Amino acid sequence: MEKLKAVSPFRLAALLRREKDPKLALQLFLNPNSNPNSTHKPYPYSLLSYDLIITKLGRAKLFEELELILSKLKLETRFTPSEIIFCNIITYYARARLAERALHVFDEMPSFRCGRTVKSLNTLLNGLLICREFDKMQKVFVGLDWFACPDACTYNIMINACRVQDDMVGAWELFDEMRNRGIRPNEVTFSTLITGLCRSLKVNEALKLKKDMFKVYNVEPTSYVYASLIKGLCEIKELSLAFQLKDEMLERNIQVDSAIYTTLITGLFKVGRNNEVYVVLEEMKSKGCIPDTATYNALIAGHCAEKHFDLALRSLNEMEEKTFKPDVISYNVLIKAYFKEGKIKEAIDLFEDMPRRGCKPDVVSYRIVVQGLLSGMQLKEVAFMLDEMIFKGYAPHHATVDKFMNLLHEQGNLELLFEVVNSLAKGNHIDSDSWTLAISTITSKYKLLNFHDVFDELTNSYNLAP
């Protein structure tokens, strides 16, 4: 870092912009000249320098340091901070789920001589939505007339909050209030409402709104609107209407992406129209839309549901031949289907082959395997897989472990029971119920009545550590 005896405000801003490390940037900001003990007058920071350091600290989530900068900014008298700076700070706090701090910044804006407009109000409302602080949102919204007049963005945020809570009645009330106040709904308004209606399976209402948005409000339906409607229609098995909307998109030169084709493929499998799946795939490719990982995962899941494992495996292998690789979901779906059908060997072979295929098993992979082996009564393999799972830092599903240990208890299988307890203890996943079960088993097996004898049997004979 450069150390100059006299760094101008313009030069300081340039140095801050160049510095990638936020902590070093903070040191530079606080000590722009080489002599921090100088008796000269306070350094004349520029608004740009404040903006740059606040951005760096906020993105790095260095909030205590950010508060220090804000305390200095509050003392500045040479300029008035811009509203966008506070909007950014509110957003940083919201992304960190610090709703109270975001509210505090909004409340403190006047003390920085900065007026609050609908822009900062909307930023705060959106931040509270990110934090899922719906009650706080409502309080701010009710008192918004003290700060600014709401706009379409304000209502869109509040309608989205209702959608997130599955409160479509509240969303409609806000939509009506919005129009009564003379605020024109836009494409975001309709997209949010239609998405909420589709997720509530009120697809007919969503279709009507889609017509109204163009005929009544002259707002063109977006690809997002079409995607929501197509997904909703597939959910209620109205495939014909879903395909009609897809064709309408093509006619209106609205891009049909891989997500929409994937939704249609999933819908076809759901209603048993498997023979049409590859027709859709061919159309997809002919339109220049390349099948992606989600598309192939839909194929794998669909073939597995129909017990066409050869086709599912073929889709998995085909993915590997493409420029993209199968993800862990691809394998998990097929492995789970194998276990469900009692194909334990095939499931284990594929699971063990995952690293060679360039995909690392995750916690879900291990849980599927443990559950599958347990259902197949492969008890030794379950104990081995649990130990490997815990060794790799993954937490087993509590209900599955309870089921396994109770089964070993019923069989009086002390050897495996102690192996499991040992594995759980190593990973710090053992609880009082597990210890109680182990003690109960050894007590009934060896007729030991003294607790200390039981404890010694567990800890000394099997090297267990409570």
Q: What is the pLDDT of residue 97?
A: 96
Give the pLDDT of residue 436. 66
Question: Alpha carbon of 73 to those of 50, 81, 112, 113, 328: distances in Å?
Answer: 8, 8, 8, 11, 48
Mean pLDDT per 10-residue run, the chain (466 residues)? 65 92 94 65 90 96 96 92 96 97 96 93 97 96 83 96 95 95 95 95 94 92 94 95 95 93 95 92 90 91 92 88 81 94 94 90 94 91 91 88 84 79 76 63 53 50 47
Residue 344, C-beta contacts closer than 8 angstroms, at least 6 positions apart: 338, 372, 373, 376, 378
pLDDT of amino acid 134: 96
Alpha-carbon Rg of the chain, whole angstroms? 30
Terminal-residue alpha carbon distance, the chain = 52
Q: Where do we find the tokens 């009330």?
A: 173
Tell me what pLDDT residue 39 has.
53
Query: Quick one: pLDDT at residue 334?
Result: 94
Contact 307, 341 (CB under 8 A): yes
Q: Is 13 left (phi over 0), alpha (psi -120 to 50) or beta?
A: alpha
Structure tokens at 356: 């060679």
Rounded to 10 deg, the angle between the 47-59 and 83-95 helix axes is: 10
- What residue type is assigned to position 133 of the chain? E
Instruction: Classify residue 360 by burial, with Cβ atoms within 10 Å: 0-12, 13-18, 19+.
Output: exposed
What whole-number distance in Å separates Cα of residue 77 and Cα of residue 44?
10
Question: Burial, 60: exposed, middle or buried (Cβ in 10 Å; 0-12, 13-18, 19+)?
Answer: middle
- Residue 328 and residue 345: Cα distance in Å, rounded? 19
Give the pLDDT confidence score for residue 433 in this predicted structure: 65
Say if residue 138 is exposed, middle or buried (CB neighbours under 10 Å; 0-12, 13-18, 19+). middle
What does the pLDDT read at residue 161? 97
DSSP class of residue 112?
G
The reported pLDDT for the residue numbered 34 is 62
Residue 461 pLDDT: 46
At residue 4, the pLDDT reads 45
> Residue written as tokens 């909420």?
196
pLDDT score, position 426 = 76
Q: Would you state the structure tokens that stand for residue 234, as one six-digit string? A: 């597939």
